[in-house]
Structure 1
Amino acid sequence: MATFPVINMENLNGEERGATMEIIRDACENWGFFELVNHGISHELMDTVERLAKNHYKKCMEQRFKDLVASKGLDGVESEINDMDWESTFHLRHLPESNLFEIPDLEDDYRKAMKEFAVGLEKLAEQLLDLLCENLGLEKGYLKKALYGSRGPTFGTKVSNYPPCPQPELIKGLRAHTDAGGIILLFQDDQVSGLQLLKDDQWIDVPPMRHSIVINIGDQLEVITNGKYKSVMHRVIAQTDGNRMSIASFYNPGSDAVIYPAPTLVEKGAEEKNQVYPKFMFEDYMKLYAAVKFQAKEPRFEAMKAMETTSNLGPIITA
């Protein structure tokens, strides 16, 4: 099995740039995931975010989760459960408007750290999108513009904890799925593992690494690249020991962004395959995704293709 791709972003600034870009290309085409080190977000800030996130869970969410487990009788479960996840979560929205100061129970230093962290992640996401443009032969800024919509991208964070589970073989921390959006940036626990991706019909562990950011490709980038880059099924395995922290930030299209394959990539791929992904509004995709998140993505694309014939989405914008 090939080694999980890890990219040292400092190598983009010197003689190893070409080789590093090649690792990114291979990761996008063959893994759908890669891990970044030396990504420009300070280790001190990451340590602060981790400490505050874990303290917040313990103080404000742990007992709620235990009460939920008890109320559903999950602590004594004997057969596999396929309709829920063993996770405790809350969501933050950063763009187009932040709800950071509307979330109850968050202490001011936690809000401040998450705001600073989100700014760093947004900058990193846009830097990565331009690196992908370079590898794809698209002009700089194309992917950011493709996701923009009328009010800019949607950017938010899902803060999750995966508590110790007495029966991890019977319930997943998070069921297998692909992510609906654009590009995902994950700050995961480096002590407790659990994240896996599906590659060549095998579940592969995404290795926990201190101060790294895990990147994965969402469904929208698969559409824009006309399948050259693919979103990949992934899941979280619950563990009997340890509480796994996961802070996943989603750089997604604006709700009214019209998503469609980049014309130059359709032309380049025409000889190899006739498949062209659909054109649709991101908001419509999300309505469908909400109902079928834990099912295969291909029927979602087919449904969008069927809707395309009855929708008038107007002229497409080219970068």
Structure 2
Amino acid sequence: MSVNIDDEAPTFAPSLLVPNVQEMVKKNYLHVPKRYMRNQEEMEKVNYMPHLSCEIPIIDLSLLSNGNMEELLKLDIACKEWGFFQIVNHGVERELMQRMMEVADEFFKLPIEEKDKYAMPSNDIQGYGHAYVVSEEQTLDWSDALILIINPVRYRKLQFWPKFPEGFKEIIEAYSSEVKRAGTELLSSLSVIMELEKHTLVELHKEVLQALRVNYYPPCNTPEQVLGLSPHSDTSTITLLMQNDDVPGLELRHKGNWIPVTPIPDALVVNIGDIIEIWSNGKYKSVEHRAVTNKNKRRTSHASFLFPRDDVEVEPFDHMIDAQNPKMYKNVRYGDYLRQSMKRKMEGKTHTDVARIIKERVIEAQQI
């Protein structure tokens, strides 16, 4: 089913109702329910490599957008080797970023009775609550979230947009507009390094789907036993994240190790989503990442996702396929891929199997 201009706001995926973590912490900070606890194997602390954080690429978006060859080469290496990078000089004003963080913090300070007015419905992901909860046995994440569709405007469900604090809606719109601009500039540069016409990826996002997820991670008495967000890769084209300058928590998987993404003041963290991996035939990888908690401080992060339309057909570009690089992914309709992924719990990159050509066929292609 394709989406046209007359369609109502779509739904995405159901999620089971689970407790509010922030309220649990308020009532009893010392108690961590078993359903949130993970064993040492799941936490993978043995693979923790904080010293590699300084190697995560930093890219100047102003240089990149002007076609600077050195910066384009840095972007190519970042996408091939890391799947993550931080952008500076992106043009999003510091005051706007700060105000976005402040109003989000004010929202999470509201009484639960007020926040529950915007509770996520059982059949969708817009609103306040938890997404990706698909079974009663599932280990839960130590976080709450506010998820909103920003663009296209007709997809907004304004009943889930908080009326308090005052001006929250206007600040979300202003911030999201600037992030969308920065994201569109990145799509143009990604087109260039993928040897496409500069506007190819922007054209494939002519009516971009943009979502905002504000994550709230309360402190935890046993942070070594819980995860704020389970390991996963993003189903987006790209994701742009604003995180607290003073509270780290985001970690990415690099060569089997977990590496913290140390916050840089005023920078945005960017990661490549599954769709760039598919379009590039695996040259650029969407990378697993997770969020950890700490004992003393709450943390918030603001993830902006840019997606294609539901009816865009996604598969590797022809020039990304040759005898040495056989086709790794089949053609998928993006809306189908997105919803099938959302109906599963976050579990690494297992959801990408929906688009992946079975290994045996890849091996056969390499032998021809």
Report the TM-score range of the alignment, normalised by the length of the smaller protein.
Answer: 0.7 to 0.9
CA distance in 1, matches of 2:340, 2:189: 30
Among candidates 59, 71, 90, match of residue 20 of structure 1: 71
CA deviations 1:273-312 (Å, max 9, x no partner) are 2233111111111222123342343x544434579xxxxx
Among candidates 172, 176, 192, match of residue 114 of structure 1: 172
Q: What is residue 156 of structure 2 aligned with on the other side?
A: 99
User: Alignment partner of 1:132: what SS?
Assistant: helix
User: Alignment partner of 1:115: what SS?
Assistant: helix
- What does 1:221-232 align with in structure 2 at a 5 Å threshold? 221-232=276-287
CA deviations 1:42-75 (Å, max 9, x no partner) are 111111111111111112459979xxxxxxxxxx
Cα distance, 1:123–1:60 mapped onto 2, change above 3 Å? farther
Cα distance, 1:29–1:112 mapped onto 2, change above 3 Å? same
CA deviations 1:121-177 (Å, max 9, x no partner) are 1111111000011111111121123344xxx22111001111101121221000100
> Does structure 2 conserve the Cα–Cα contact (< 8 Å) formed by 1:90 and 1:158?
yes
Cα distance, 1:48–1:132 mapped onto 2, change above 3 Å? same
5+ residue gaps, structure 1: 66-80, 308-319
Range 107-116 or range 194-203, more displaced: 107-116
5+ residue gaps, structure 2: 1-51, 117-136, 359-368
Among candidates 177, 199, 203, match of residue 258 of structure 2: 203
Report the number of matched residues.
284
Q: What is residue 292 of structure 1 aligned with on the other side?
A: 344
Identity of aligned residues (%): 29
CA deviations 1:15-55 (Å, max 9, x no partner) are x9222111111111110110011101111111111111111
Residues 1:173 and 2:228 aligned together: yes
CA distance in 2, matches of 1:107, 1:225: 42
Range 256-265 or range 102-111, more displaced: 102-111
Q: Which 4+ residue blocks in structure 1 deviate beyond 6 angstroms?
A: 62-65
Residues 1:44 and 2:95 aligned together: yes
- What does 1:1-319 align with in structure 2 at a 5 Å threshold? 1=52, 3-12=55-64, 17-60=68-111, 83-97=139-153, 99=156, 101-102=158-159, 103-148=161-206, 152-266=207-321, 270-297=322-349, 300-304=351-355
> Does structure 1 conserve the Cα–Cα contact (< 8 Å) formed by 2:205 and 2:307?
yes
Q: What is residue 316 of structure 1 aligned with on the other side?
A: none
TM-score by length of structure 2 reads 0.72
TM-score by length of structure 1 reads 0.82
CA distance in 2, matches of 1:169, 1:6: 29
